[in-house]
A and B are shown apart, each in its own frame.
Chain A
């Protein structure tokens, strides 16, 4: 399990993240919300060890993150960055196959996993194509398949960190992708996901963290966090919150 207590990150003199206490629990999807520059990606970078904490530390299974051996850590923790740059004409399944690098499960098992991960991210039909020939949204889903393959099938003790995995997707694929992530968490993995779409967050996340200028403003269930007052305070946006007529989760409408 990934947890952090009183995490603080400075860049120069500026505190870009303060007082974040968080655990990403097995089986849950934890959404991180906040306006641009609120520290969402900084939080993600700190949680995966890319940024060193000025105060506090990040623990993976009770052990500080930087004490883990690379391969051991990679089997428990996978990160999907906002954008990936890959300028070489790998085939789609080769890109996804890179997710299996930390494992020694053998080519047969790896091929099964790659296939399953491709299907989970709804890119199975792209197998055999060159990565460079894909659209932005297709590339984003291929990288999602890669990090899913890295932790496949997903179980208790594994954590997946996702930075806006739906930013380039069409409406249908925003939902299919989040459903796939939801399914992944239901098998026991812990998922932390940065989202901009409040309604997607309301529908697919178990808990939400609302960040405001590096401070956690609210942490709780979508019903608790997605209230007009905190949303107005953090985003400066007047909203109506209603219940989804069929599913009951909050629906946020700008006034």
Chain B
């Protein structure tokens, strides 16, 4: 049998990769900073008194543009990967995606309402337009997921199979509603809508970052406490129940964490696909399915992967910038196909 990577070297390797990604993400962009200067400017930023030529400008770029963007990438990648683990555990299927419970399509619907509706009433006010968009996306994701969960419940039990099908139906419904808004939108609104649906870390600001960071840290602290319960859940719901796990409570927590995490990520950065699907899978290939390792390792791997994808997004067509959702789909879709075909024999 293929040998798995032990947890300690796995975490050391992932941390090193993550640090490298952070460093590159801070240094590279339209104005590339020398790698060493990036470090010195970063030290200045945290208050170490270093002086040198051009360091003030570097510090400004770092503090105002690169750092919020990097933090946004880390949080989005981490929380999407975590939600992927939660959904694959809930559906007991390694090919499940956080979008299955309707959170992505709900957020997309919320955003479409905000963008097209805002344009219809003559444009949202400059000051809080972006926040309103994020809020609508977040509430849309939470609302549709709550509905999916509610539809899956009968006699105090939640049927995962019904949830899956309800998720498909509501995703289609939300999708067609977004389509309707797209049809009604004028050209400028259409562009905003399209780009939002492709996802981007562009224009990251601290104001948009804090709510997501808060949610990400919360979910990242909460879910690993359920690692053993998630392992047991993979045996089956009744088996987990016979092992003393409160299965109904666990399912509720998983759905809630996913709705919160993906909702906040989509609200902050738009739709970014495949991270939640591919990252847990990749980590499982490396280190096995034990959630005690899988959950924390997926946070690291997801954050790292998203930063690298963002680097490609901003460097591939420089000075123009690609939406990151295109990059993750280009990387993720072939990988997904590889997983499907690999499972055949």
Q: Which of A78, A98, A133 contacts B235 (CB 8 A)?
A: A98
Chain B residues close to A by CB (< 8 Å): 1, 92-94, 228-229, 231-232, 234-236, 238-239, 241-246, 284, 288-290
Q: How many A residues have CB within 8 A of the partner chain?
A: 32
Q: Which of A70, A94, A95, A128 contacts B244 (CB 8 A)?
A: A70
Decide if B290 touches A90 in the complex (CB within 8 Å).
Answer: yes
Residues of B within 8 A of A74 (CB): 242-244
User: Once the chains are docked, how many angstroms separate the CA of A71 from the CA of B229?
Assistant: 12
18 A-B pairs within 8 Å (CB atoms) are namely A50-B238, A70-B245, A70-B246, A74-B244, A79-B239, A81-B239, A84-B236, A85-B92, A85-B236, A87-B94, A87-B234, A88-B234, A90-B290, A94-B288, A101-B228, A101-B244, A101-B245, A150-B243
Minimum C-beta distance from A191 to chain B (A)? 15
User: Once the chains are docked, how many angstroms separate the CA of A79 from the CA of B93?
Assistant: 23
Residues of B within 8 A of A73 (CB): 244
Residues of A within 8 A of B246 (CB): 70
Decide if A102 touches B290 in the complex (CB within 8 Å).
Answer: no
Q: Which of A84, A88, A91, A101 contacts B243 (CB 8 A)?
A: A101
> Which residues in chain A, 63-101, are within 8 Å of chain B measured between CB atoms?
69-75, 77-79, 81, 84-91, 94-95, 98-99, 101
Minimum C-beta distance from A97 to chain B (A)? 9
If A86-B234, A86-B235, A133-B1 touch, whether A99 touches B290 (CB-CB below 8 Å) is no
If A90-B289, A101-B228, A129-B1 touch, whether A84 touches B235 (CB-CB below 8 Å) is yes
If A101-B245, A128-B1, A133-B1 touch, whether A89 touches B284 (CB-CB below 8 Å) is yes
Decide if A94 touches B290 in the complex (CB within 8 Å).
Answer: yes
Decide if B242 touches A79 in the complex (CB within 8 Å).
Answer: yes
Residues of B within 8 A of A81 (CB): 236, 238-239
User: Once the chains are docked, how many angstroms separate the CA of A252 from the CA of B103?
Assistant: 60
Decide if B232 touches A101 in the complex (CB within 8 Å).
Answer: yes
User: Once the chains are docked, how many angstroms separate the CA of A129 from the CA of B290?
Assistant: 14
